[in-house]
Amino acid sequence: MKEWTRKRKADIVMGIILQVYFLVPWIHHHTMYGYLYQALKMNDYVRTYNEMLLPSLKKIWGYTKPTAFVFLCILFLMLFFQIVEFMRLYHIFINERPGDYRGFFWILFMIAFAVFNDGFTYEDVTEYSLYPVYGEIYMILLLVLVGVWIILDALLDTWESEHAMLLTELEEQEKKALQTKVQILEERYQEMLKSRKVVHDMKNHILALKNYDQEQNWSGLHEYLNELSEDILEYNFHVWTGNHMLDMILNQKEKDAQRQKTDMQIDTEVFSTLPFTDREIISLFGNLLDNALEACEQIKGKERWIRIKIKKKNQLIYIEIANAIAKKPDQNGSGFISTKKENGLHGYGMRNIRDIVEKYEGIFQYEIRDESLMVIISVYA
């Protein structure tokens, strides 16, 4: 069975309340069913109206025919709506998607009630009304009940839509985190294989170096040393902070920056502990660095650069990520407007960053200049 969403629960509760409300005896101690039964039994809806609603006002009975007719139409409309909503309630309960006619009923009922309330007057005896006050109050409350239900459903639809988008983003974040871990582990494995290969070939490398030295082939020796150094450094895993997950992300993003010809400089220190979980580290630093890399990728004809600073002073962790930008980003009330096609998900990425910072009672700030953007985060360890 499908999950019992808030909207589904609200529809069932409001549907039951509506059915109970229709059972209230509001027509001179009678329900609308009793009134309709009497009207059909007498075969005279005007007499039924006069005797059941205006029993003590016989002097105005001759003026009530239009009012009695409209009242009868209102009751049939209410009865029809109750049956439709009862079937709708059943379909909601068994988790089927029923049609929704509440708005249509609300408009029709509002028109009928306006005609019933304002369309008929008794000019000769103004102190009397052609309909009882309690009937008017009952119908007003019915309009309010259905109107509140429609508004509540609209609000819950909006909430569930945003909630579904958030769940989709969280799934994307989890998927991205898993892919990042797998990618980093694969690269670490390749690094390990390459390191073993370099160590295994070290004897041959030493013999080659000695040969260059004996032949005094200094240019060849220099070129060979450069190639060997690049081969080793290419697969070097740098320990930036001591946190394995954060170090893997920094190493990975540094390689991504090299591929897109972006100068990335990292200034960190080794921490004993970080307050974030691995998933939060991937979400926080992954989103921040992806945004910085994306901004640099859009730069044409100018220097691309990213500066990362992660420091700890006393119990405060200070994170500063600055990057070059092609132009100032557009902003709204909650942050930047993404230039990505899937900007809805990108917006949730920024929301995730803020949520993580707020979770640890930290501070999130950003500073925009003509050619750079700086994000500053400070949290307690």
Give the tens place of pLDDT for each residue, 291-320.
899 999 999 888 999 999 999 888 889 999
Q: Mean pLDDT over all residues of the chain?
A: 80
Q: With bands split at pLDDT 50, 70 and 90, how would you rate the model's confidence at 342?
A: very low
Q: Which residue has the tokens 């009672």?
A: 361
Q: How many other CB atoms are there within 10 angstroms of residue 45's CB atom?
A: 20
pLDDT of residue 187: 66
Residue with more model confidence, 244 or 200: 244
Q: With bands split at pLDDT 50, 70 and 90, how would you rate the model's confidence at 340?
A: very low
For 26, 103, 125, 143, 329, the CA distances from 99, given in Å and listed in that order, are: 29, 11, 46, 20, 44
pTM of the predicted protein model? 0.48
Distance CA 9, CA 14 (A): 9
For 15, 141, 178, 244, 327, the CA distances from 184, given in Å and listed in that order, are: 53, 63, 10, 11, 32
For 69, 123, 162, 287, 336, the CA distances from 57, given in Å and listed in that order, are: 18, 15, 57, 76, 70
Instruction: Give the residue among 174, 225, 232 at the shortest CA–CA distance from 348.
Output: 174
What is the separation, in whole angstroms, between the first and last Cα of the chain?
A: 44
Spell out the domain ranges in the chain: 6-171, 238-381
- Cβ contacts of residue 295 below 8 Å, gap of 6+? 323, 324, 325, 326, 329, 373
Please say if the pLDDT value at position 381 is more than 90.
no
- Cβ contacts of residue 41 below 8 Å, gap of 6+? none
Please say if the pLDDT value at position 2 is more than 60.
no
Instruction: Give the residue among 122, 107, 20 at the shortest CA–CA distance from 64.
Output: 122
Strand partners, 324: 372
CATH code at 238-381: 3.30.565.10
Residue with more model confidence, 285 or 212: 285
Which pLDDT tens digit goes with each residue over 194-233? 665 555 566 666 777 777 777 777 777 777 766 766 555 5
- Cβ contacts of residue 372 below 8 Å, gap of 6+? 322, 323, 324, 325
In a 10 Å sphere around its CB, with 0-12 CB exposed, 13-18 middle and 19+ buried, how is residue 286 labelled? buried
% of the chain exceeding 90 in pLDDT: 27
Residue with more model confidence, 333 or 101: 101
Please say if the pLDDT value at position 235 is more than 70.
no
Which pLDDT tens digit goes with each residue over 76-124? 999 999 999 999 998 888 888 778 888 889 999 998 888 887 655 544 4
% of the chain exceeding 70 in pLDDT: 79
Please say if the pLDDT value at position 61 is more than 60.
yes
- Cβ contacts of residue 106 below 8 Å, gap of 6+? 143, 146, 147, 150
Distance CA 328, CA 368 (A): 7
- Helix 102-118, helix 133-200: angle, nearest 10: 160
Instruction: Give the residue among 134, 120, 132 at the shortest CA–CA distance from 70.
Output: 120
| pLDDT, average across residues 252-271 | 90
